[in-house]
């Protein structure tokens, strides 16, 4: 695998704790079953104990429910997740094979290695991308094929922490069994009403962490965060979008309490963003704004209280910035030490 050391430098967040916990383990495969969509014809064999989500034009499975959030920002720490994700794209005057390839790329063009292959019996483009993290190797590959004048199938595999090798048999079975789908004909649905998960509430409630408190929307939950090697990691997140959240990491700073140095050492992890002085919880702090992926924006705050470093990361989807950002900024302003 080709090691990428430029674009993904920001993903390799420096761990401030010397020890590395064993962390969660990727589950074993417990048998297989086949999914077939009678409307599109898409079919695939997959591990039956993996977490499956489907809709008329998409099939996605994760090796565990805990893995889902890590694929939002491609966190360098977290559950050792593997994902298989199949999408159907409808071809028309505005959508071509090339525009689909552009659409599905999450990173800049130089990250990908592209070659022509045969996949599921059709000519296809294979895109591979990989990088090393402190917890192991991340590997991704996509197969993009047009199996019908109206349809392009995108078959994507992504795996953290060397789990591609662990699930090699399952991945090969999925690839060999895969039958591409055809984009479904549009039908008027007079029965089903789709209700989207709510936007963040403007009503904030107080949640507590390790020697701090923060106010979050009352329709958000406090879950275990993705970071490892820290004293505590909490992920404050709603049900609507996994890429709109606030993560608070508490890190041991007993051996390094020089905030200026810590921030400078970590600039490269955030696209070499320019640190700006600010206040957080009544103490001197720094904030950096950066872009983790094309359709998401982020800010990270660093502040020290006693012998602990607090790293607060807020992420929001560009398309719903007006709904998330003002509320998230109020949450950050409410941050207090206890």
Instruction: Report percent pLDDT > 70 for the chain.
Output: 90
Domain spans of the chain, in order of start: 7-177, 204-337
In the chain, beta strands by DSSP E: 32-36, 43-47, 51-55, 58-62, 82-90, 113-119, 122-133, 136-148, 151-159, 204-209, 212-217, 221-224, 232-237, 245-252, 276-280, 283-293, 296-305, 308-317, 336-337
Convert the pLDDT of each residue in 110-164 to its tens digit.
Answer: 889 999 999 999 999 999 999 888 788 999 999 999 999 999 999 999 999 999 9
Pairwise pLDDT comparison (185 vs 160), residue with the higher score: 160
Question: Domain 7-177 adopts which CATH fold?
Answer: Protein Transport Mog1p; Chain A (3.40.1000)
Residue 42, pLDDT above cutoff 60: yes
The answer to whether residues 212 and 336 touch, using CB atoms and an 8 Å cutoff, is yes
Question: Are domains 7-177 and 204-337 of this chain identical in fold?
Answer: yes
Give the span between the Cα atoms of 178 and 16, in whole angstroms. 44
pLDDT of 255 > 80? The answer is yes
State the average pLDDT over residues 69-74.
79
Q: What is the pLDDT of residue 292?
A: 73
DSSP state of 10: G
C-alpha distance from residue 37 to each of 33, 56, 58, 181 (Å):
13, 8, 10, 8
> What pLDDT score was predicted for residue 196?
65
CATH T-level fold of 204-337: Protein Transport Mog1p; Chain A (3.40.1000)
- Distance in angstroms (rounded) separating the CA atoms of residues 234 and 224: 5
CA 74 vs CA 82, 95, 258: distances in Å: 12, 27, 28
- Over residues 204-237, the pLDDT tens digits come to 999 999 999 999 999 999 888 878 789 999 999 9
């Amino acid at each position: 695998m080709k090691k990428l050391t430029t674009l993904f430098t920001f993903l390799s967040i420096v761990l401030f704790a010397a020890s590395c916990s064993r962390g969660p383990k990727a589950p074993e495969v417990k048998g297989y079953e086949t999914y077939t969509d009678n409307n599109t014809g898409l079919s695939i064999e997959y591990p039956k104990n993996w977490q499956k989500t489907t809709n008329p034009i998409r099939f996605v499975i994760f090796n565990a429910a805990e893995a889902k959030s890590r694929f939002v920002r491609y966190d360098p720490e977290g559950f050792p997740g593997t994902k298989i994700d199949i999408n159907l794209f409808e071809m028309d005057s505005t959508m071509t094979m090339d525009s689909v390839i552009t659409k599905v790329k999450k990173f800049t063009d130089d990250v990908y290695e592209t070659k022509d292959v045969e996949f599921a019996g059709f000519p296809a483009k294979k895109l591979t991308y990989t990088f090393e993290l402190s917890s192991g190797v991340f590997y991704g590959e996509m197969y993009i094929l047009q199996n019908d004048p109206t349809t392009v199938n995108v078959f994507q595999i992504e795996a953290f922490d060397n789990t591609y090798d662990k699930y090699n048999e399952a991945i090969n079975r999925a690839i060999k069994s895969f039958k591409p789908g055809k984009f479904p004909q549009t039908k008027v649905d007079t029965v089903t009403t789709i209700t989207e998960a709510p936007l963040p509430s403007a009503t904030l409630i107080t949640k507590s962490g390790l020697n701090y408190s923060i106010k979050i929307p009352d329709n958000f939950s406090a879950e275990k965060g993705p970071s490892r090697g820290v004293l505590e990691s909490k992920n404050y997140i709603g049900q609507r979008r996994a890429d709109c959240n606030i993560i608070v990491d508490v890190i041991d700073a007993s051996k390094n309490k020089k905030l200026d140095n810590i921030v400078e050492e970590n600039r490269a992890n955030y696209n070499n963003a320019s640190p700006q002085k600010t206040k957080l919880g009544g103490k001197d702090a720094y904030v950096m704004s950066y872009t983790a992926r094309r359709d998401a924006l982020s800010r990270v705050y660093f502040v020290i209280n006693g012998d602990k470093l607090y790293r607060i990361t807020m992420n929001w989807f560009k398309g719903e910035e007006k709904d998330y950002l003002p509320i998230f900024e109020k949450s950050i302003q409410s941050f207090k030490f206890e």
